[in-house]
Structure 1
Amino acid sequence: MVASETRRQIVDVADRLFYERGFEATSFADIAKDTGLSRGNFYYHFKTKNEILEAVIAQRAAHTGAMLEAWEREAASPAECIRSFIHILIRNRARIMACGCPVGTLCDELAKRDHAAKDDAARLFALFRDWLSRQFARLGRDEDADALALHVLMRSQGIATLATAFRDEDFIRREVAEMEAWLLAQCPAAPQAEDRRRL
């Protein structure tokens, strides 16, 4: 296995364990064990768990950026872009009910511990915030685009938190439908009618 593939394997395993168990509850040894690599091979790539955390956050940021670009490229309208974000809750419902939102849980844990990487993790939310704000601006809501973006983020995080607590898939589906109805109400008349036809 080439070095880049080994490094990616370590980061992938760490990302999964940080999400499923939490950063603090995942030991360096846990990550090394789950990769199946020799200790020497493992330490060649990362000397500390914090180094792995930095790599996990960077990888999540890259994946998030690529996902947002794909949504924007493939969507027929800004409202459809926002709907793609809202539907993360449906697509990832099993994981969310089991472990929560991967961004929210990591940011929460690092903030509570005042970890040095807490601001880097928060930038994952900023990627979504900036992208959502741009979509609302494209909808003609320039003046309150950022407030609307924060509202969508806030509501999706609330849904994810309660979905984890109650493990209720019907709740997720109802709330997503409510968010879609809210989104239509934010759209100017012409795009709103166009988006209704696509529902």
Structure 2
Amino acid sequence: MTDSPGSRTARAADKRRRLAAAAAEVLHEQGVERTTLADIAQAAGVPVGNVYYYFKTKDDLVRAALSEQSSHLDGLTRRLDELPDPLERLKGLVAAWVAQRDTAARRGCPTGTLAVELDKRPDGTLDAEAAAVIRRLLDWVGLQFRALDLPDPDGLALTLVAGYQGMSLLANALREPEVMTREGARLTDWLDSLTA
């Protein structure tokens, strides 16, 4: 009995998704330079030879990882957009960051660490794509500050996202998840002070 074209297509799409998710995870854990296609194949449970069918180069896998990170961000902001109050959305964002404190202490921010590593590569082809994911976050945060009718919403967005990147970096450098907890509380207090 042979597979239908639809089931083959579904299996191929599933394999591609597994590889992209594994790429995001392994690249965050090991970094671009230390990660091999075999590492990603193993994490995805896919024979290494199959990786080339879906992704021709490591850069293609990095793009897939960035796409995964972007999808994760979209899912998070969609859930936060269900909250009726923009201030609560922003506080929910901070809470989501703090909830990832153990991961941040081990590896830093997934997109931030990848953006820094890609910026140091001599070819400089993917750093703009990593920056685009961070820009999406900045834009969403800026929209929340606009909805609160606060002055300089883009500057406030930059301050909030910079606070996250800083606490993520320090939690990672010090291997202290509680940095995220403490600084997350400070960011929440700061948000409250803006509308008091």
TM over 0.5: yes
Give the TM-score normalised by the residue count of structure 1: 0.87
User: In the alignment, is residue 48 of structure 1 matched against residue 57 of structure 2?
Assistant: yes
User: Which of 82, 104, 108 is matched with 1:96 structurally?
Assistant: 104
Counterpart in the other structure of 1:109: 117
More displaced stretch, 89-98 vs 23-32 = 23-32
Answering whether residue 19 of structure 2 is matched by residue 10 of structure 1, we say yes
Question: Are 1:176 and 2:184 counterparts?
Answer: yes
2: distance between equivalents of 1:173 and 1:9? 31
Aligned to 2:148: 139
Cα deviation per residue 1:148-167 (whole Å; 9 max; x = unaligned)? 00000111111111111222
Aligned counterpart, 2:160: 152
Return the letter of the residue paired with 2:125: A
1:44-83 equivalent positions in 2, closer than 5 A: 44-73=53-82, 75-83=83-91
- Rounded to whole Å, the distance in 2 between the matches of 1:162 and 1:78 is 28
Displacement, 1:122? 0.6
SS at match of 2:60: helix
SS at 2:35's partner residue? Answer: coil
Q: Amino acid of the residue matched to residue 121 of structure 1?
A: A
Taking structure 2 as the reference length, what is the TM-score of the superposition? 0.89
After superposition, the C-alpha distances for 1:133-177 in whole angstroms (9 at most, x for unaligned) are 000011111x40000000001111111111112222333222111
What are structure 2's unaligned runs of at least 5 residues? 1-9
> RMSD of aligned C-alpha atoms?
1.6
Task: Return the alpha-carbon distance in structure 2 between the equivalents of residues 93 and 138 of structure 1.
Answer: 28
- Off by >4 Å, runs of 4+ in structure 1: none
Q: Which amino acid aligns with 1:86?
A: V
Structure 1 residue aligned with 2:136: 127
Deviation at 1:66, TM superposition (A): 2.3
Q: Are the structure 2 counterparts of residues 33 and 174 from structure 1 closer, same or farther at C-alpha, using a change threshold of 3 Å?
A: closer
Runs of at least 5 residues in structure 1 that lack an aligned partner in the other structure: 193-199
Q: Answer yes or no: is the 8 Å Cα contact 2:142–2:156 preserved in 1.
A: yes
- The corresponding residue for 1:195 is none
1:152 and 1:101 map into 2 onto residues whose CA distance is: 14
Counterpart of 2:39 in 1: which secondary structure? helix
The offset of 1:32, in angstroms, is 2.5
Name the amino acid aligned to 1:28: L
Give distance in 2, aligned partners of 1:157 and 1:42: 32
Secondary structure, counterpart of 1:65 in structure 2: helix
